[in-house]
Structure 1
Amino acid sequence: MPDQEHRAQVSAVEIARLAGVGRAAVSNWRRRHADFPRPVGGTETSPAFSLAEVEGWLRSQGKIVELPLRERVRGRIELLRDPAGSPAAPLVPALALLLLLQRDPVARQLPAPGDDLRIAAELPAALQEQAVRTLGTEGARLLRLPALLGSTQVELCRLLAELAEERGIAHTASELVGALGETAGRQGANVPAPLAGLLAELARAAGGGTGAYLDPACGNGALLLEAVQRGATALHGQEADQDLAAVALLRLALDAPADRLVPLPFTVAAGDALRADAGPELRADAVLSRPPFNERNWGAEELGYDPRWEYGLPARAESELAWVQHALARVRAGGPAVLLLPGAVAARRSGRRIRAELLRRGALRAVAALPVGIAAPYAAALHIWVLRRPVPGEPPPVRVLLVDAGGGSASGSGALDGVLEAWTAFDGAADTDPVEQPGRYRAVPIVDLLDDETDLTPARHLPQRPADAHRTLTEAQQQLDGLLDALTPLQGSLPGHRPGADDGSHRAAPTIAELIRAGAVELPPEGEPPQPGDVVVLLGAGGRVDVQEESAGESAGGRPIAEATAPALLLRPDPTVLDPWFLAGFVEATVRTERAGGGTAVSSSFTAGAGSTTSSAALPAGSSSTLSAAASAATRRDVRRTRVPRLPLAEQASYARPFRQLAVFRRNLLEAADLGDRLTLGILSGLVDGSLAPEQ
């Protein structure tokens, strides 16, 4: 066996996850049990333990039962992840092993129990040979397979072989990639299967047929796999993250019949397609993609004179419109490009000239708004854009299809079916045929959209059916009633308080930066989803601070964290030292008062307004930022320098309760204000456009 330092190691947090307990339990085990495994690595404040020794101890104590095979595989993959590298990296050799098991039955004996050193040396050679046979030399080079396996990788290969035998190779591969999910490199790299299927079906129906498909930002290959299911004969992909590109390539190989001629008829390249296009001469029959979004550093400066910008030079803030034009440049004349984009691309002023040019020349054929939450980022609106590269000499179309699949009662698969239904009705109609379903979709004359804004947001151009408008606003009124009931009377919704000692003890308290160094607070890697008990600081959200509750995605009051798409900083307090709500209260007080009032306490600023007869004058300086974006965004520096008093847990709890109560009150207040504003606008608009009538 390899030396001790090469064995699989786990942290205290990972031990807690393995045993299904909190970190406090692990700390107690270390103190109370003399036979608990000793650290074999890490640091004094963050020790690492041998995974095998920990698992053996937990079983001997009856603290865990035998984990399911699938969970043991996932655990080994997690151990192999490098926080500084691509989250997809450990999947590459794992999927390469499944490819070997699929295509070479003789090699299935290689991961069997035996001499670890022999397996560590022989298995990589077999993986490499199979990769070259199946994917060709260039494809195998993309994988960057290791020449020697470590002990954790050898153990993972054994477990994977067992899992593949038990559940099948295709199912095992699907579970591995599914578990990777949104942690795989850039946000949006994973497109859920139903949505990916819709995009592929739209591309096929819009003229792509069964030809060659390209995805210039292919992520884990979900869209290309759906194109295969619809008969695509050739596939081309590119992805900036090399490990994620390798995952996509291996998924395509595993999806191909094992007896198909090799090398297989598809390519996946690594690299940024805007800066380093792998196929500048390619003219695919269709383009499918969910490109990166909200990128400022997409290459606007060095690509200023690129010939792809036929419809205008994209602004620095319009990376998505650069991808739109890249897609049109890489599809044949008359071929479709179907892209999943943020809803803001349809309305941002910086992109209005390019949107107008796309409409004038007939390149943009449809915009479909999807229900919120159908794909990441789950709190943001997403649109599907259907484009066609104009055919020289053909007159441009006079109408564009606008679909609002997110505004009606349908959701999920029903909404997706509605998009395809709308496209079918539009694509087969003559220019003079009416194509409309009130509140759902409409063929809009292009000339009607070419104003100063060229706003292509479907809801702006689709008046609701009267019944829908009335039902939606009635439901909103009922929701607002509930929120207002929760806010009043104030004695029940706000915590009680009394004069404090104001002894200034908190001023000498340790900062969060010091607590992190001491191990009392952990700073999870950026992009990691919050766990129950984590303090979530929403940077750029006016200093909003929440605590993740037991239900996934929920915080104070049991409601979703609506601003989940905003940059967030996670703080993971040690529950034996800090109450999460106690920590959250001090963080929010610091970032909000320092950002809005230069460090002045909120309570003291009420004194300046004493005696005023107007409610606005009685508010503290800077308090209007509570209900608006006036306050500057919270920063990581603000958070790290927050001082947190040293108090026993029981005393912390006396503060944690009102801190949580205040968070619920503020959330309800913000939601009520937003909902009230939208409700008044909705009723006003409905009365004006005729979808509502005054009650008799």
Structure 2
Amino acid sequence: MLDDLRLSLPDVAELAHVRRPVVSVWRRRHADGPRPFPAPVSQRGGSPRFRASDVVDWVEATGLGNNAAFRADVALRAALDDAMGPPDDVALGGLTALLRLKAYVDEPLGTLAPEDVLDLADELDPDDDAVFTEVDALGEHLEMFCTLADLAAGSAYHPGAAVEALLADRFRTGRSRLTRSALAASAVALVADVVGALLLGAASQAGTSDHAPLADPYPGCGDLLAAVLGRDDLLDTPTALVPVGNEHRLVRRRLGAHGWSVRAPRAEGEPALVVTQVPPVGAGPLDDAAVLAMVDDVVLDLAPGQRALVVGPASALVAATSSREAESARSALLRTDRLRAAVLLPAGLVVERPRERVALWVLGDAHPEVPIADRWTMVADLSGVVPVGGRFPRAVVDDLCTDVLAALGTADDVARHAFRFARFVPARHVLASGGSLVAAARPIASGARDDAVAAAVRAGELVALLDAAPRPPLDVRVERGPAAPVRRVPLGALVERGIVRRVPGNRLDVADVRGSGDVPTGEVRVLGVPELCGETEPGERVVDRMTFAARYPAGRLTEPGDVVYTTTPRPAALVDEEGFSVVAWPARVLRLGSREPEDAPGAVGQDGRVVAEVLAPDVAAQARGTRWPSWEVRVVPADQADDVAAALARVRTGEVRARRELAHLAELATTLADGVTTGVVRMRKDGPGS
């Protein structure tokens, strides 16, 4: 099978979990020697193609790449792309069915006779709701696919993880049935976080640790259900209610492969938290009236006390309606008083339609005691929040979840909560105008809250911190000296002479980089483009030390005094005085060395030295687009080098201290303004302070 599969260089990079240029480096560095990179066996569109079996043998022999399951992943791609094998849909359906079967039995499927595998499928799925037809359709290929299922489950450590890996490849293969209307990973993660908050809130309100099952009337391929059920910290016995039907067979196999309970709803209104997307994954775009009709079906099926989260096009859920039919449908939904919160999300969250905006609706109990004229909903606008690294910022998610939980309460609950994102919208305003829910939102008139004196305590801490902050003298002494020509040397010449060494950065998986508050111990500071360009303070991003050592055995740390720099998106640099940091590519390191053992680092002859504290601003001052060998950097007189380096280091320390003080002042201003206006902070009459 692998002999017949041809891989391009981008294919090799994707399967080996490295960036595309890395494979070109492998090919160049290992062109000769006892174990050369495989030679291409064909060309397509001017690009070389390599025999998959040759590449697999080479990667396993050299130990390169970041994918321990490289052979298994290549084999799965070979099976699904094999022109001589079963059709694509049959291959994917059969492989996911066998993985579902592996979660049911202990022995390897490859050791069983094909008829025994069919008997097991019939035993697991006597009503043929998800598995039997797909296994039977493999026909003569069944034995080979059983071996593949064993290989995939073993390499992924679990059948469910193997199914997730298969579905992650759907965008490459262009399976429109699995990609149409699919949400980006950041949107799916946000939905899972909000649903998790709803589950915890409902359990807390009921005074129990048990959580209601999840229900999805339009599950598609199960992206939302899999994201929520996969949260180990949330559900002890994950259960999903999924309708029976041919269009729901894949989601049943997907969830079942994880070992989660999947069943059809026993009756209308069965206690469950509904989470769904309209239109579902696999369906094409729908007009606003059709979307609202599907949402209306969800609302009609909600029993008292039942909650639901719906993801759909913003044009139907929160924007100005596109037609009278859609306006009438949304007005009818608003009159039910079941819409507790609506959240507008940024563009770019629908993979195949990046310009489309989506929105969330959170549905809950109506308030029959509230007159129709006084009914309300909460609207949050997150259209300006950009996901970073495939996730929304943690603080944004946490605050949105607390806003949503408060919106599900009574009018008194809303009045007591200080909302960060949500705004109060009287239903009568929207019904009268038929316009955008976001445009109709207005600030809540009263937002008193009780935060257990946290705001007052924090304000006092900030005042004490600012008042007591030491400001040591810079201790920089200067005197007038004779003017002299500025000596400049091209950086390329310094590198050629060994005075400066260029050290590449580390290609980190974004999933391994965390905020400094997310890694409790053993963290290593990450320096990259955000730190160099001033978007993030050094030390805010870290990587776990053990994770870095395990996943990046060839990883490099900085040394004290290294200059970390980047040319993208513009030249920028800083001096890493402490050292022992991880430099994230495309950032690199300039390290001062010496040609002779007796020379000081950066020595340029007897009368000059390159000083890191001068080299960094020289690099940052270069014109965008110029090549680094032509950069001219200044040389400091040798007898002044140590003194100027120490003085500039103290100046930079003072600059960092001043920026930190400015941040504390800004936080104090915000804390005082928010605290006083919400009533949790009062200014003392007898003097300054809080």
Question: TM class, shorter-chain normalised?
Answer: 0.3 to 0.5
